[in-house]
Amino acid sequence: MSFKIVDVEFYKSPCSAEVDDIISSYGISCKEIENALKEGTYRHSKTNEGFQKELHEQLKFELMLFFKLKGHSISSQRYSREFDLESDVAVPSKTSGKGIYIEIEFRDKNQFADIVKFQIGYKHDLELGVLVVPKNKKNINPGYKTMIEFHNCKDVLEALELEVPILLIGFDGIWKNAE
């Protein structure tokens, strides 16, 4: 079976224009990120752990490939020299000395840990935090009851009114039989 992303939604916090400016300084756009996610085909090998573990690694690979094809390198994923916290993907800026730190999340409670990591990173080398989450947990793993969903994460970001620039990306897809 394979999973094809067909729907991508964005939420930009705290200011849409600020997030757009940061993204454009990397020579990319939300539309290009959307297209890259939709171009991928995510395979499920029917492991006992559920599709979200496989999907996490495949999304990580797709995002790393996207940034590499756009001429960016992938760097150390550490948020700070003082803390042993790493992101899934980190993309250094060619001009600012900071970077985009990307987290791919499926666990509901981990969104808070990721937001704290973004806050820590913002005091150091983070220019933009990107959080990638499903829009519909039933499409990823119907048996996993505590999976995060886009609308819940968006509500948390709105309530917190953070200063750190965050791009929230929600995705949904359809299942296809192997071809």
SS (H, E, C) 104-158: ECCECCHHHHHHHHHHHHHCCCEEEEEEEEECCHHHHCCCCCCECCHHHHHHHHH
Using DSSP, state whether 94 is helix, strand or coil. Answer: coil
Q: Please tell me the distance from the alpha carbon of residue 28 to that of residue 14, in angstroms, as a whole number.
A: 19
* Reported pTM: 0.95
pLDDT of residue 99: 95
In this prediction, residues 68-79 reach a mean pLDDT of: 90
For 6, 24, 80, 122, the CA distances from 118, given in Å and listed in that order, are 28, 20, 10, 6
pLDDT of residue 49: 67
pLDDT of residue 121: 93
pLDDT band at 177; cut points 50, 70, 90: confident
- Mean pLDDT over the full length of the chain: 92
pLDDT of residue 74: 92
Domain architecture of the chain: domains with CATH: 2-176 (3.40.91.20)
pLDDT of residue 60: 96
Give per-residue pLDDT as tens, 7-52: 999 999 999 999 999 999 999 999 999 999 999 989 988 766 678 8
Residue 179, pLDDT above cutoff 60: no
Looking at per-residue pLDDT, the higher value among 144 and 120 belongs to 120
Amino acid at 179: E
